């Protein structure tokens, strides 16, 4: 097949869509990506790209077409970044793609949902079907994390979401709980399928040397968080849990990653006097994560207590399970149920700082063999439920069906 991938984010940014493109090319499909200049979480991490952008025109054999974006910044700067992709991809996308043939469009939507607008325009121009992978629910998530509070604005965004969903020939939902929420904004619920994230292959690797950036901690139990340091992850509750264990010198917390809350978290660690117990090490390449995980006795995943966030399975959860390290989950809903179903760790309610602190103590009290058994159950569960090859087999099959169905040759409502 000839496939067009539309995504605001792509390599050298680290997102699941990179894996999908790599595997599609390896299977013999011709893939073109319409994306923006890298800016997530900020431009400062992509100096190599901006010094020589011509070196980033192909990825694993796929062709990359980029449109300019305005840089992300705090507050309205993120919205402006989102809108800049809508404008530049809608205007410049058809021009850049004028000599490119494709059978289907695949849209990757972690946030914002507006990535669907230029894809819909291309769908209409080329009369080809479009699949849309929903990683983040709009407008619900905007309300849940406090980005948008105006009921009127949320209503307008909701109408935009309905417009986009109703012009998709296939919608992929990253959790079972997403399906009815998407269906509430879609006139064609039969086009919605459950499609979770897969486990990253590299997280099963255990042969990397331990990351030298992590200080030695003889006799200390290490809880590690890796990923986005944002509003949804409820860092106030995580730091409260660390405070509950302030008197224990045998625990430490390692935070990897960055995000909108990074500066706040750093200032809170200092204000609360937690500098010896909570270490922020910054952001590292995803390929290096196994070397950091080798220091971890437990991997932490958390989400704020909110019904919408409870519907989400954080993408990191599948890879945590595949890493074979016990999981500590401070969250509600489908993600928490997965950890319990796998028998791969301990769960406490979202926002329950004391419960998290107690879970850390409980996990540390287990024998090393008991913790290894927990991790092994998680790895086995990830292999059975979230195997990358099996998941991408499904995508290829669905896209092939779309290609031959002709659905994209008529406009949905």
pLDDT at residue 207 above 80?
no
pLDDT at residue 97 above 90?
yes
**47: containing domain:** 2-198+387-409
**Among 47-56, 166-175, 206-215, 369-378, the least confident range:** 206-215
> Could you please report the per-residue DSSP string of 313-329?
--HHHHHHHHHTS-EEE
Same domain, 75 and 89: yes
Q: What does the buried/exposed string (b/e) look like for 297-310 if buried means 16 or more CB atoms within 10 Å of the residue's CB? A: bbbbbbbbbbebbb
Same domain, 144 and 228: no
Kind plus residue range of the DSSP H or E element containing 401: helix 388-405
Q: How confident is the model over 244-267, as a mean pLDDT?
A: 93
pLDDT band at 5 (very low <50, low <70, confident <90, very high): very high
Instruction: Calculate the average pLDDT of the chain.
Output: 92
Same domain, 238 and 182: no
pLDDT band at 206 (very low <50, low <70, confident <90, very high): low
Q: How confident is the model over 348-369, as a mean pLDDT?
A: 97
- pLDDT, position 412: 36
Same domain, 364 and 261: yes
Peptide bond into 410 cis (omega under 30): no
- pLDDT, position 142: 83
Sign of CA dihedral 338, 341, 346, 352: positive
Same domain, 221 and 352: yes
**What does the pLDDT look like over 122-136, one tens digit per residue?**
999 999 999 999 999
Q: How confident is the model over 90-113, as a mean pLDDT?
A: 96
Q: How confident is the model over 63-83, as a mean pLDDT?
A: 87
Q: How confident is the model over 377-396, as a mean pLDDT?
A: 93
Same domain, 108 and 159: yes
pLDDT greater at residue 395 or residue 260: 395
Same domain, 139 and 256: no
Q: How confident is the model over 374-394, as a mean pLDDT?
A: 94
- pLDDT, position 21: 97
- pLDDT, position 297: 96
Same domain, 39 and 163: yes
pLDDT at residue 168 above 80?
yes
> What Cα–Cα distance (Å) separates residue 327 from each residue in 81, 302, 310, 321, 330?
34, 10, 17, 7, 10
Is the full-model pTM beyond 0.75? Answer: yes
- pLDDT, position 286: 83
Pairing status of strand 58-59 against strand 62-67: antiparallel
Same domain, 101 and 169: yes
The total number of structural domains that make up the chain: 2
Same domain, 191 and 232: no
pLDDT at residue 411 above 80?
no
Same domain, 355 and 392: no
pLDDT at residue 73 above 60?
yes
**What does the pLDDT look like over 31-44, one tens digit per residue?**
999 999 998 888 88
Query: Tell me, what CATH number does 318's domain have?
Result: 3.40.50.2000
Three-state SS at 266: helix
> Could you please report the per-residue DSSP string of 160-201?
HHHHHHTT-SEEEESSTTHHHHHHTT-S-GGGEEE-PPPPPG
Q: How confident is the model over 186-191, as a mean pLDDT?
A: 95
Neighbours of 212 (CB within 10 A): 8
Neighbours of 413 (CB within 10 A): 8
Same domain, 89 and 167: yes
């Amino acid at each position: 097949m000839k496939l067009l991938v539309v995504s605001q984010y792509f390599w050298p940014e680290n997102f699941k869509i990179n894996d999908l493109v790599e595997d599609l090319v390896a299977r013999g499909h011709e893939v073109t990506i319409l994306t923006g200049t890298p800016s997530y979480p900020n431009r400062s991490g992509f100096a190599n790209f901006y010094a020589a952008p011509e070196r980033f025109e192909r990825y694993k054999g796929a062709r990359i077409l980029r449109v300019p974006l305005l840089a992300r910044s705090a507050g309205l700067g993120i919205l402006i970044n989102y809108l800049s992709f809508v404008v530049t991809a809608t205007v410049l996308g058809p021009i850049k793609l004028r000599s490119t043939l494709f059978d289907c469009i695949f849209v990757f939507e972690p946030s914002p949902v507006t990535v669907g607008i230029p894809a819909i325009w291309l769908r209409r121009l080329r009369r080809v079907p479009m699949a849309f992978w929903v990683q983040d629910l709009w407008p619900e998530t905007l309300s849940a994390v406090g980005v948008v509070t105006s009921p009127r604005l949320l209503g307008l965004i909701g109408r935009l979401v309905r417009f986009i969903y109703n012009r998709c020939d296939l919608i992929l939902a990253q959790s079972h709980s997403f399906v009815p929420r998407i269906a509430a904004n879609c006139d064609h619920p039969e086009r919605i399928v459950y499609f979770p994230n897969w486990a990253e292959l590299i997280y099963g690797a255990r042969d990397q040397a331990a990351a030298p950036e992590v200080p030695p901690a003889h006799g200390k139990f290490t809880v590690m968080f890796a990923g986005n340091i944002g509003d949804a992850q409820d860092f106030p509750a995580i730091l409260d849990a660390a405070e509950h264990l302030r008197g224990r010198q045998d625990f430490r917390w390692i935070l990897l990653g960055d995000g909108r809350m990074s500066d706040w978290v750093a200032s809170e660690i200092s204000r609360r006097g937690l500098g010896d117990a909570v270490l922020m090490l910054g952001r590292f390449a995803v390929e290096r994560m196994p070397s950091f995980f080798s220091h971890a006795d437990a991997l932490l995943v958390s989400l704020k207590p909110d019904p919408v966030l409870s519907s989400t399975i954080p993408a990191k959860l599948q890879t945590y399970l595949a890493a074979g390290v016990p999981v500590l989950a401070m969250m509600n809903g489908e993600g928490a149920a997965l950890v319990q179903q796998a028998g791969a760790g301990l769960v406490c309610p979202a926002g329950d700082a004391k419960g998290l602190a107690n879970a850390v103590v409980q996990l540390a009290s287990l024998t090393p063999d008991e913790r290894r058994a927990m991790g092994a159950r998680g790895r086995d569960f990830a292999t059975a439920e979230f195997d990358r090859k099996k998941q991408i087999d499904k995508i290829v099959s669905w896209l092939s069906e779309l290609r031959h169905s002709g659905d994209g040759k008529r406009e949905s409502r």
